[in-house]
Amino acid sequence: MSTTFTFRDAPGFWRETLAVTGGSVAAGVAVGVIGPAALGLPVVAAAGGAALLGGSVGAALTRQKPAQKVVRGVIGMVGGAFAAAGFAALSAVFGLGVAGSLVGGALGGLALGALLSAEDRKRVGSQVAGLAAAATTGAVGAFALEKIAAFATSETAPIGFTAAAMAGVLGLWVAAASGLRRIEAVRDPLIERSAAVLEDLAEPARAKVKDGLSTWTEINEGITKDGQMSPETAAEAVRQARKLVESMLETAHTWKQIHHDLSSPRLSGIAEKLADFEKRIDETSDEVTKGHLLRAAQALRAQKSAIDGLKVGTGRAEAALDAQVALLERLRLAVAQHRVSDRERFAVEVSAVADQVARLSDDLESLSAAIAEAESLSDRRVLADLERAGRRALEQLGADGGVGNDAELPAEVELPAKIH
């Protein structure tokens, strides 16, 4: 399948490019007012250094969070000052000539590009591309400054205008080149979603999902390579494959949630706790204590019932994954058969897969509704059991000790948490 690229956050690119260019021009104007001779530097070193200093401050101030602007502004000024000093030293002080300017421009562009891409650490490949482009353009820009300076001298151009133009050109080129990090391949949303589902997904569901994703990739590759498949037929096959993968990822996500709940240490030993409560209920003669223990036992029974339901849900979700992976494999074989001219069979297979996908979707929706209804019914039963237990305890207390029916139990009733 062809790869599509996108330019990420175009408004951010224009914002940082204008900020860097503006900062470079402002610093270049300041150099022109002061005069390169007053700084003891030739115009190339002074203008290049001004571009790195002003550009770094402008880049630092493009961050979106206002609270960070002051801190980053200081960082940009300090970093830009070092970059400017380094460029001036390499291009003029050390007597390296044009070679020194090229090295200084490359290092300065690298520093400015790093400041611009400071928040792109998660996109390592794009960040490296942006840094390489900024460093290369910095070296090219430094060489261009030599040519601009020679031309300005021959035309006796005003030094203020020359310094501002030179600084602006270098800042603009480096900022624009750094924008290369924003070019990214467009990833399929299903790929993004599958990565999230596979994270911390336990076996055997993980292996099933990876197998299904691999089959889906083979289906797409087979359709792409089959030049005899009509666009309508290919679109239908891709649509059914995507529906299967989406359903598979949703089922795997449900399985992961249920498995996580069942693996919780808080759910271990419920049967033992329930047996202990029942034993204590039989042994106690105090009705108030017995009422509390009855509440606790009923809560544990509800939790045990919910756990049993979750275990059934785990098995059904795992079986659904098996069905989804098998249907993907059936579709893959149908695509392979189409490539060897069995086109009538392909249409039948795609239609059969579509029918099975629809039935599987209905089954999964029914399963979700049944689980939700079971949880709701379990909660209603717990409330009813607690209410009956409380009334029996109060009636017994009234018969034994003269306590009225409007008396309250001495402790709050805590209902069991609903397991999702």
- Please answer whether residues 49 and 86 qualify as being in contact, where contact means their C-beta atoms are separated by less than 8 angstroms: no
- Please answer whether residues 212 and 325 qualify as being in contact, where contact means their C-beta atoms are separated by less than 8 angstroms: yes
- Please answer whether residues 138 and 170 qualify as being in contact, where contact means their C-beta atoms are separated by less than 8 angstroms: yes
Q: What is the pLDDT of residue 409?
A: 38
How is the chain split into domains, by residue range? Answer: 5-185, 189-401
Residue ranges for the chain with pLDDT beneath 70: 1-3, 63-70, 119-122, 340-344, 362-420
Q: What is the pLDDT of residue 214?
A: 92
**Degrees, nearest 5: CA angle 115-119-124:** 95
Tokens coding 383: 């409330």
Dist. CA 9–CA 237, nearest whole Å? 34
Dist. CA 257–CA 196, nearest whole Å? 13
Q: What is the pLDDT of residue 420?
A: 35
3-state secondary structure of 185: strand
Integer angstrom CA distances of residue 198 from 102, 108, 158, 248, 253? 48, 42, 64, 12, 9
Residue 292's nearest CA partner among 204, 364, 393 is 393
Side chain identity at residue 205, one-letter code: A
Side chain identity at residue 395, one-letter code: E
Integer angstrom CA distances of residue 38 from 31, 41, 187? 9, 8, 54
Tokens coding 28: 């270049």
Positive or negative: CA dihedral 177, 181, 186, 189: negative
- Please answer whether residues 139 and 102 qualify as being in contact, where contact means their C-beta atoms are separated by less than 8 angstroms: yes
Q: What is the pLDDT of residue 182?
A: 87
Q: What is the pLDDT of residue 19?
A: 93
Dist. CA 81–CA 342, nearest whole Å? 71
Q: What is the pLDDT of residue 414?
A: 41
Q: What is the pLDDT of residue 116?
A: 86
Q: What is the pLDDT of residue 406?
A: 41
Dist. CA 99–CA 91, nearest whole Å? 8
Dist. CA 297–CA 276, nearest whole Å? 9
**Degrees, nearest 5: CA angle 277-281-284:** 130
Integer angstrom CA distances of residue 103 from 20, 24, 91, 139, 377? 21, 19, 8, 6, 74
Residue 108's nearest CA partner among 159, 49, 64 is 49
Integer angstrom CA distances of residue 270 from 262, 305, 322, 418? 12, 11, 31, 15
Dist. CA 371–CA 250, nearest whole Å? 16
Round to the nearest angstrom and report the end-to-end CA distance of the chain: 39
Q: Tokens 């042994």 label which residue?
A: 283
Q: What is the pLDDT of residue 363?
A: 67
Dist. CA 360–CA 171, nearest whole Å? 59
> 212-217, long-range: CB within 8 Å, 24+ apart, which pairs?
212/244, 212/245, 212/248, 212/321, 212/324, 212/325, 212/328, 213/245, 215/325, 215/328, 215/329, 215/332, 216/241, 216/244, 216/245, 216/328
